[in-house]
């Protein structure tokens, strides 16, 4: 035995970070959006009688829930267990996450005074995040941890609507009709999201994902004028930390170029846009995605045949991180995700 022990291998050379940086990989790295959560029986057991936000503020629970899918599937990255509205809760916005509904805000934001009443985020408001990330990074060893935040438009939708929305009508009414309030709100959220990413990276997260899940509701011109500059500020601040940045939205086929230009190293693509179409649009950036999340309900050989098509298409990109085209559907059979993970990781490149 050597008397000078080697430090444990870190995540720097992991397939996930190599792909995110556009470097050659030993296999296509794979993780799943919403891999931690309701599809896992061990998650449901832990969460019995514990509120969603409560579990995000309890380091022991956060660490365990984040590790569960890594243990079960052997995925190439962990995603930090939290929520896009958690930092708002931390600064004092009165909100809750209702089971089966999503984030609900007690007093929706409508005026400049409402925006100005929201404090900025400082690291001392999320000590549980720092503690959880530090513990996780130590436990994960060579497996990278992805930190995340909500992008200004998607977070604004919850704040302005007061809850989940299909049309984002009030949000867009503010964007079109009250540009000063909109600008103030976007700046406020951008600052909070950037600060939340900084806390996670400072504590050891080795990549970040900015979720603009509902940006697909916008035309390219409206996105470019009213949303992109604010997301770009969040991504620029994350870029200064030296970690790869993934930028994801749903239904964003016509926004992929702009989402890349906003400052992403990797652009997340939902399942509606074939990767072969998406790759030329992201302008030399990497891509992440994009198997239809319902394919896990198909026979295994149908699922894996479609996964193979995604991997083959991904070869044309600067880097490809395999994922579903959106989050894991709660009724997903974990054994099927395990088979999918093994298939992707053993697919010859
Ligand atoms: O991916 C992961 O496993 C990490 C954890 C994570 C959660 N939310 C946990 C969660 C992440 C990355 C998010 C991000 C998030 N939250 C987004 C962007 C990603 C996306 O799916 O587009 C959005 C839009 C939200 C807002 C939100 N929070 C929604 C729409 C919901 C689901 C509502 C429902 O129950 O159908 C939540 C709640 C939530 N966030 C759950 C989990 C595990 C379910 C809570 C529960 O089990 O009680």
Residue 221 lies in domain = 19-346
Q: Which residue shows structure tokens 């994801």? A: 248
- To test the pocket of ligand 1, the residue of 45, 84, 154, 156 to mutate (highest count of ligand atoms within 8 Å of its CB) is 84
Residue 92 lies in a domain: yes
Determine the pLDDT at residue 9. Answer: 73
Residue 11 lies in a domain: no
The number of CA neighbours under 13 Å toward the Cβ of 321 is 35
Residue 2 lies in a domain: no
Q: Which residue shows structure tokens 């969603």? A: 52
Tokens of 84: 């896009």
Cβ contacts of 251 within 8 Å, gap of 6 or more: 216, 217, 270, 272
Q: Give the active site residue among 18, 43, 76, 158.
A: 158
Query: Could you tell me if the CB of 69 is within 6 A of ligand 1?
Result: no
Residue 289 lies in a domain: yes
Q: How many CB atoms lie within 10 A of CB 246?
A: 24
Residue 13 lies in a domain: no
Q: How far is the CA of 103 from the centre of ligand 1 (A)?
A: 9
pTM: 0.96
Q: How far apart are alpha carbons 270 and 259 in whole angstroms?
A: 13
Q: How far is the CA of 147 from the centre of ligand 1 (A)?
A: 14
We report the CATH number of the domain holding residue 231 as 3.20.20.210
Stated length of the chain? 349
- SS percent in the chain: helix, strand, coil, step 5: 50, 10, 35
Q: How far is the CA of 53 from the centre of ligand 1 (A)?
A: 11
Query: Could you tell me if the CB of 248 is within 6 A of ligand 1?
Result: no
Q: How many CB atoms lie within 10 A of CB 147?
A: 26
For the chain of 349 residues, list the mean pLDDT of each consecutive stretch of 10. 61 97 98 95 96 97 98 98 98 96 97 98 98 98 98 98 97 98 98 98 98 98 98 97 97 98 97 98 97 98 98 98 97 98 97
Residue 51 lies in a domain: yes
Q: Give the active site residue among 18, 43, 47, 318.
A: 47
Supply the DSSP string of 129-197, one letter for each residue. HHHHHHHHHHHHTTS-EEEEEE-HHHHHHHHHHSS--SS-HHHHHHHHH-HHHHHHHHHHHHHHHHHHH
Supply the DSSP string of 86-119, one letter for each residue. HHHHHHT--EEEETTTEEEESS---SHHHHHTSP
Tokens of 17: 């970070």
Residue 10 lies in a domain: no
Q: How far is the CA of 32 from the centre of ligand 1 (A)?
A: 13
The number of CA neighbours under 13 Å toward the Cβ of 261 is 11
Are 82 and 150 contacting, i.e. CB atoms less than 8 angstroms apart? Answer: no
Residue 6 lies in a domain: no
Tokens of 167: 């049309």
Q: How far apart are alpha carbons 7 and 118 in whole angstroms?
A: 43
Q: How far apart are alpha carbons 22 and 66 in whole angstroms?
A: 26
Q: How far apart are alpha carbons 30 and 304 in whole angstroms?
A: 13
- Active-site residue, 110 included: no
Protein residue with least CA distance to atom 5, ligand 1: 81
Q: Give the active site residue among 76, 83, 265, 270.
A: 83
- Active-site residue, 96 included: no
**Domain count for the chain:** 1
Q: How far is the CA of 289 from the centre of ligand 1 (A)?
A: 18
Atom of ligand 1 nearest to the CA of 38: 47
Q: How far apart are alpha carbons 349 and 347 in whole angstroms?
A: 6
């Amino acid at each position: 035995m050597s008397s000078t022990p080697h430090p444990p291998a870190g995540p720097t050379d992991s397939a996930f970070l190599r792909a995110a940086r556009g470097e050659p990989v030993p296999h296509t790295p794979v993780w799943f959006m919403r891999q931690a959560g309701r599809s896992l029986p061990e998650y449901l057991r832990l969460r019995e009688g514990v509120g969603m936000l409560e579990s995000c503020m309890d380091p022991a629970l956060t660490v365990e829930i984040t590790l569960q899918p890594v243990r079960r599937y052997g995925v190439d990255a962990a995603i930090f267990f939290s929520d896009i509205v958690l930092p708002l809760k931390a600064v004092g916005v009165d909100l809750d996450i209702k089971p089966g509904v999503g984030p609900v805000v007690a007093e929706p934001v409508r005026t400049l005074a409402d925006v100005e009443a929201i404090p900025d985020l400082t690291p001392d408001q999320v000590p549980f995040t720092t503690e959880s990330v530090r513990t996780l990074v130590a436990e994960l060893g060579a497996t990278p941890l992805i930190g995340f935040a909500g992008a200004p438009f998607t977070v604004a939708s919850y704040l302005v609507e007061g809850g989940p929305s299909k049309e984002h009508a009030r949000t867009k009414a503010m964007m079109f009709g009250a540009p000063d309030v909109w600008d103030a709100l976007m700046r406020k959220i951008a600052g909070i999201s950037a600060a939340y990413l900084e806390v996670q990276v400072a504590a050891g997260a080795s990549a970040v994902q900015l979720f603009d899940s509902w940006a697909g509701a916008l035309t390219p011109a409206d996105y470019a004028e009213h949303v992109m500059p604010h997301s770009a500020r969040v991504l620029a601040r994350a870029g200064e930390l030296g970690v790869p940045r993934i930028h994801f939205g749903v239904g964003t086929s016509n926004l992929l170029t702009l989402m890349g230009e906003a400052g992403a190293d990797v652009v997340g693509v939902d399942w509606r846009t074939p990767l072969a179409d998406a790759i030329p649009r992201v302008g030399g950036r990497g891509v992440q995605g994009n198997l239809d999340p319902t394919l896990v309900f198909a026979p295994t050989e149908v699922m894996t045949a479609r996964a193979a098509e995604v991997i083959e298409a991904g070869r044309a990109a600067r880097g490809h991180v395999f994922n579903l085209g959106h989050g894991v559907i709660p009724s997903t059979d974990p054994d099927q995700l395990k088979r999918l993970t093994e298939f992707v990781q053993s697919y010859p490149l």
